[in-house]
Structure 1
Amino acid sequence: MSYLENLPVTILHSICLHISDCRAFALTCRSCVDPARSILFANISITFYDTRELGQQASTWAERLRLAKSLQHVRTLQILDEDTHKPIEKSVECGDRLNKIWQYLPSDHPDRIVDEGAGWQTLADFISLLPGLRDFIYAGAPQLCPSILECIENNAPHCRIHLETFCLRSLLRFPYEQLEIHPYDRKLATHRQLYSVKLARFDEYDDSGLFDYHLDVLFDLIRGASPGLRKVSMLREKPGSSMQLISSRRQPRQKWKGSELVVFPSNSKGKLRSLELAGPDSATLEALQRWSEVTAFENLEELKLHQYIDAETATWLLNSCSLERVSRLTVHPASIAIPALFQKVGSLNELKLVSNFDNVQLVDILTRHGQTLQELAIIHPLSDSMNAADMAEIVARFCPRLQKFCMRIPRTQGNAAEVRIYQSIGQIARLRDLYLILDCRDANTSNNDNEANQLNESMRHTLINHAIDASLAKAIFETVASSNTTAHSRLRRLEIRSQSNQSYGGLGRACAVLAGQWLCEKDERDDRPGQIRVTRTKALRGTDEKLTPLVASVFDELWPDEGNKLHWSERWRSYPLIEAC
């Protein structure tokens, strides 16, 4: 390994940026240790249940990094709450972990007095030891302690603060309470180092009967009260129907004046670089018009709108807002608005398109943006396999730099039409990461099928479509990889998620067991060339349930017991590609 020992440190560091296992690289020779450490310890994450545990983990990390002589390597410090939450209404995921973006929530009712226990001080001491800290990400349930803010201000003046559980105790008020901003809340919200905030499960009325003023404050922060704020992510969720909420809606809501934080010109606009909106009514014409009054859309580099945009809203967006700097776009537009919309935006690096578009529109989009796209997700209500294969071929033809791709495709019992889709995807020259949403419904199935033979055939196809095991996942990976037209396929990762909503005939129980979610990863070690690791990413459920007689009869035809007396959930297997009937 003498050739490595003679390389400059800058070259060794560059190598670390492009390999998957820095730990193994550090073992090759002494010269590789420090460059590898700079990558291994660049991002530190602490998950805590309470402030006592927070302090213990911070102390442990401080000692570990001190022994490894790596305190100076830390660039990002994440503080994450142990409890995570699922959104009430799930969004369309495309490998972007969309339903986990807002999984951390603040306390329902922040304490009027912020906890300043010993654990916070230990964390502050740890932060003071990190001279290279550039990003501090906080996603804890309790409000960020003043000592942490002060520590970052004094010891890491160039560190950006990301509040992923943005919640100020002053902004949740009962109808009878006067709206007053606590001095620390004002300091935290307007801090010059505050760079990004996430507002999760927001509505103007809390389910507990509290008035919520966070959006009012957020608008003021964007307009200038928080001069460093550049990134906002918000999820709207409608509250329930508690008696407290019903009572609060009858009370007059104190109006936000706009001068509670700081005073600035009424026509001032912010300079957000990233805006993400999700949840009911988040992308309506009225909502987007309000956002355009708060921040200058011409500064946006990333725009993610996770709700449907009707033709009227799309027309307003095109005529009233400049989107020329946008390079990362998520949009669910009406199909009629697609041609004009994609002529309006700048050259895209990332695109997630959820819409009922046709191949002509896809060609138009990729003719303009395909040369620059590195990540692409296209979610279309597919009607047939031929359409999906054609779309994949269009993507391969127009996107020479594409590295990450997501697509929803119909399962058709692994027949030649389905295989053609995988082969078409494999033609994407530089593809490294692939996320497939497999639509496992039988295209010919109807809940009103009355003919017994037709129903049995539909159930048979549906069960085969859902039967996705490790063997099939690996076969799909190999089919895609072997179809690449370059000398060596760059495909390293395939994630498979099944999609179905089967309820007729009692199929739901069986489909829940058969429909696996799998991750295939190519091993990049020299001593394991071409090996593929296959792991299940979602635990089996419903394995102890019984099938209805109708489903059981079809199931037994596909996977007979053969005298092993195995439970139905243990004896099934996937049908191979092409050979499936």
Structure 2
Amino acid sequence: MAKVPNEFWKPLAKLIERLPRLKDLLYACPNQFPPCLLAALHEQHPSCRLHLRNFHLHSIKDRHGLAAVLDAEETDHELRLASSPCLHSIRYSYANSHGDYGRFNNNEEPNPNNIHTSAVMRYVTRMAPNLKRVHLRPVPDVPDESTQSFPPKPWEAVSHLDLPQLLASLTSIEMDQGFYVSDEVIKVWRESTEMSVLRVLKLKMLQVPALQELAKCNLTSLVHLNIALPYVDRRSYWDVVADALRRVSSHLVTLKIGGLSSEIALDSVLGPCLRTLDLATYNSRVFQEKDILEIAARSPLVECLTLRIPRRKGNASEVASYRALGKLKRLRDLSITLVVRPPPISRATLESMGVEDYAYGVFEREIWRVTANKDPGFSTGALKTAVINSAVDARLVRSIVEVITAAKQRSGAVSLELLQVDVTGYDQIKLSNKDDTGTAFGEYCSLLGLPWIAWRFVNSDNRAEYFVIPGQDDKDIYRHDKDPIEEVGGIFLWIIEMVWPRAAPTKDLVGRAWHSFPLETDDAIDSPQST
């Protein structure tokens, strides 16, 4: 998209001037916010809140002293925009390192992404007097850039200005990045921002030094916390995480944690004010009955819950987890991911005999190697369990809803309005084929592990009446153009025929009459009553 001249925006500026009570203006175009629109706000709507979805500054000087070639008028406009009293929220994508300036928009203007992150930090905490919400999206050019030195160097365009020395009063800080947040970055935020007024905080990839620095912040007003944690196999790391969470959990309303380990005691995570709780990223812990009951006891106000539950062929333990969800009296919106655990690996040796020569009992014990000609491997019985656990259809989802609804009715809780069910874990099950190349057996299980959504009929007299529909299939890429089943040595096909013997004699799984297996429920307590 080419650079748009200021004249193009003047009709819109005239319209803005005529609006009598403009309170908020959202600008989501990729170009710089036009001077005529900024002038219209300053002159006619000085109290209007300006929200910029694609904020950038071309005149920031990077570490090498290279800056965009802007004339005096353009630089002055960027200074007015950066210090505008109308500026309320920004989303800012930029290069984290100090790379050379490239060209942008077909060589029409400098690339706004090649900006030194330290100058950005200085800007968002020092210049705009009424800036409240900051969403930064730094992208690293080099792997160790998060360890850059601080304090930041000054922005040349404002080096002659007297910047305010007061702490910034930001209410929302979000940082989306694919690298670790350093403790120095957290320290800059802490020293330049009045953290006691911060209400929303989103950070990713926090290691021990950053967590320890975060624990020093006075976050007494924080109500929404979203953090992503890396996988660390050290108990000491999770002790630091627990300590940091314990300092803020008592007043949180929304909490989302990616990568939460089972090493953390739930009492450090759960607070009495929680309404929304999301603990279901791909590498997070799984929740069993006792964990869910602890959520109900420590966070009784939870209305929206997202977590992972182990899939166990619908046995009594799995059903108990669904019953426990019914103990959350205010729960209305529930998303669960059923986790299919990879089967245990056996050290036994695979014989060369074909599976068709085996009696059923021997077939169950046969070992299929992870790597050709090498131990260990998976037993056929364990692979069969993985296939059964992966089979999730509308009937199973309806059964889950019924168990939860029955438990809610017994406890006098509000009705569950929405249930979303997905399946994961089978992608970790890999086998070898004849060419000694890894084949994802679990990808074939994905043909059975479909996402579903159950909605309650809001206009129905029966509060326990739901309709179930297929959900958004984010894993559809694994299901299209699937290689022949024989690529895994035919074992998936053999298991399908063993589990669902009435299936049509075809290798097209879509045409097979597969189905989920019923939960081990108790009709006396797991059947909802029509009301």
TM-score category, normalised to shorter length: 0.7 to 0.9
Residue 504 of structure 2 is aligned with which of 563, 572, 578? 563
* Deviation per residue, 1:281-311 (Å, 9 max, x gap): 442212212222332322211222222332x
> Which residue number in structure 2 is paired with residue 90 of structure 1?
none
* Higher Cα Rg, which structure: 2
Q: Determine helix, strand or coil for the equivalent of 1:472.
A: helix
- 1:348 and 1:256 mapped to 2: Cα distance? 35
- Give the helix-richer structure, 1 or 2: 1
Offset at residue 258 of structure 1 (A): 3.4
Against the structure 1 CA distance between its residues 162 and 576, is the aligned structure 2 distance closer, same or farther, given a 3 Å change threshold? farther
> Which residue number in structure 2 is paired with residue 445 of structure 1?
344
Residue 466 of structure 2 is aligned with which of 531, 556, 561? 531
Offset at residue 361 of structure 1 (A): 2.3
Offset at residue 364 of structure 1 (A): 4.7
User: What is the percentage of aligned positions where both structures have the same residue?
Assistant: 22
Against the structure 1 CA distance between its residues 337 and 360, is the aligned structure 2 distance closer, same or farther, given a 3 Å change threshold? closer
Offset at residue 489 of structure 1 (A): 3.4
* Deviation per residue, 1:95-137 (Å, 9 max, x gap): xxxxxxxxxxxx7xxx5x434575x566556656765543333
Asked whether the equivalents of residues 272 and 300 of structure 1 are also in contact (C-alpha less than 8 Å), the reply is yes
Establish whether residue 187 from structure 1 lines up as the match of residue 80 from structure 2: yes
Establish whether residue 162 from structure 1 lines up as the match of residue 51 from structure 2: yes
Against the structure 1 CA distance between its residues 168 and 395, is the aligned structure 2 distance closer, same or farther, given a 3 Å change threshold? same
Give TM-score scaled by structure 1 length.
0.67
Residue 489 of structure 1 is aligned with which of 414, 417, 424? 414
Q: Determine helix, strand or coil for the equivalent of 1:283.
A: coil
Asked whether the equivalents of residues 58 and 67 of structure 2 are also in contact (C-alpha less than 8 Å), the reply is no
Asked whether the equivalents of residues 207 and 240 of structure 1 are also in contact (C-alpha less than 8 Å), the reply is no
Q: How does 1:212-291 map to 2 (within 5 A)?
A: 212-213=114-115, 215-239=117-141, 256-258=153-155, 260-261=157-158, 263-265=161-163, 267-291=165-189
**Matched letter for residue 270 of structure 1:** A
**Matched letter for residue 504 of structure 1:** K
Offset at residue 394 of structure 1 (A): 0.3
> Which residue number in structure 1 is paired with residue 435 of structure 2?
none
Q: Determine helix, strand or coil for the equivalent of 1:204.
A: coil
- 1:384 and 1:348 mapped to 2: Cα distance? 20
- 1:155 and 1:532 mapped to 2: Cα distance? 52
Against the structure 1 CA distance between its residues 395 and 152, is the aligned structure 2 distance closer, same or farther, given a 3 Å change threshold? same
* Deviation per residue, 1:175-225 (Å, 9 max, x gap): 795456623322322221111112236422569857722634432332331
> Which residue number in structure 2 is paired with residue 510 of structure 1?
444
Asked whether the equivalents of residues 406 and 436 of structure 1 are also in contact (C-alpha less than 8 Å), the reply is yes
Asked whether the equivalents of residues 222 and 271 of structure 1 are also in contact (C-alpha less than 8 Å), the reply is no
> Which residue number in structure 1 is paired with residue 481 of structure 2?
544
- 1:214 and 1:168 mapped to 2: Cα distance? 11
Q: Determine helix, strand or coil for the equivalent of 1:396.
A: helix
> Which residue number in structure 2 is paired with residue 361 of structure 1?
265
Establish whether residue 315 from structure 1 lines up as the match of residue 212 from structure 2: yes
Q: How does 1:101-500 map to 2 (within 5 A)?
A: 113-116=3-6, 120=9, 131=20, 133-154=22-43, 156-171=45-60, 177-179=66-68, 182-200=75-93, 202-205=95-98, 212-213=114-115, 215-239=117-141, 256-258=153-155, 260-261=157-158, 263-265=161-163, 267-310=165-208, 312-318=209-215, 320-332=216-228, 334-345=237-248, 347-354=251-258, 361-366=265-270, 369-370=271-272, 372-379=273-280, 388-442=288-342, 444-446=343-345, 452-453=366-367, 454-484=378-408, 485-487=410-412, 489-500=414-425
* Deviation per residue, 1:324-381 (Å, 9 max, x gap): 2212222356321244324432611112234555598213543xx22x1111123589
Offset at residue 238 of structure 1 (A): 3.1
Offset at residue 509 of structure 1 (A): 3.1
- 1:132 and 1:236 mapped to 2: Cα distance? 36
- 2:518 and 2:503 mapped to 1: Cα distance? 23
> Which residue number in structure 1 is paired with residue 362 of structure 2?
none
Q: Determine helix, strand or coil for the equivalent of 2:91.
A: strand
Offset at residue 174 of structure 1 (A): 12
Asked whether the equivalents of residues 402 and 428 of structure 1 are also in contact (C-alpha less than 8 Å), the reply is yes
Against the structure 1 CA distance between its residues 563 and 125, is the aligned structure 2 distance closer, same or farther, given a 3 Å change threshold? farther
- 2:296 and 2:418 mapped to 1: Cα distance? 18
Offset at residue 227 of structure 1 (A): 0.9
Against the structure 1 CA distance between its residues 433 and 215, is the aligned structure 2 distance closer, same or farther, given a 3 Å change threshold? same
* Deviation per residue, 1:26-85 (Å, 9 max, x gap): xxxxxxxxxxxxxxxxxxxxxxxxxxxxxxxxxxxxxxxxxxxxxxxxxxxxxxxxxxxx
Q: Determine helix, strand or coil for the equivalent of 1:331.
A: strand
Offset at residue 264 of structure 1 (A): 3.2
**Matched letter for residue 196 of structure 1:** S
Higher mean alpha-carbon deviation, 139-148 vs 459-468, is at 139-148
- 1:275 and 1:383 mapped to 2: Cα distance? 24
Against the structure 1 CA distance between its residues 269 and 364, is the aligned structure 2 distance closer, same or farther, given a 3 Å change threshold? closer
Asked whether the equivalents of residues 256 and 279 of structure 2 are also in contact (C-alpha less than 8 Å), the reply is yes
User: Where does the alignment leave 5 or more consecutive residues of structure 2 unmatched?
Assistant: 103-110, 144-151, 230-236, 351-365, 368-377, 432-438, 522-531
User: Where does the alignment leave 5 or more consecutive residues of structure 1 unmatched?
Assistant: 1-106, 242-254
Offset at residue 504 of structure 1 (A): 0.7
Asked whether the equivalents of residues 292 and 325 of structure 2 are also in contact (C-alpha less than 8 Å), the reply is yes
Asked whether the equivalents of residues 447 and 504 of structure 1 are also in contact (C-alpha less than 8 Å), the reply is no
**Matched letter for residue 422 of structure 2:** R
Offset at residue 152 of structure 1 (A): 4.3
Against the structure 1 CA distance between its residues 207 and 411, is the aligned structure 2 distance closer, same or farther, given a 3 Å change threshold? farther
Higher mean alpha-carbon deviation, 274-283 vs 299-308, is at 274-283
Asked whether the equivalents of residues 258 and 284 of structure 2 are also in contact (C-alpha less than 8 Å), the reply is no
- 2:5 and 2:63 mapped to 1: Cα distance? 22
Offset at residue 406 of structure 1 (A): 1.4
**Matched letter for residue 391 of structure 2:** A
Asked whether the equivalents of residues 132 and 172 of structure 2 are also in contact (C-alpha less than 8 Å), the reply is yes
Q: Determine helix, strand or coil for the equivalent of 1:514.
A: coil
Aligned residues between the structures: 449
Against the structure 1 CA distance between its residues 461 and 257, is the aligned structure 2 distance closer, same or farther, given a 3 Å change threshold? same
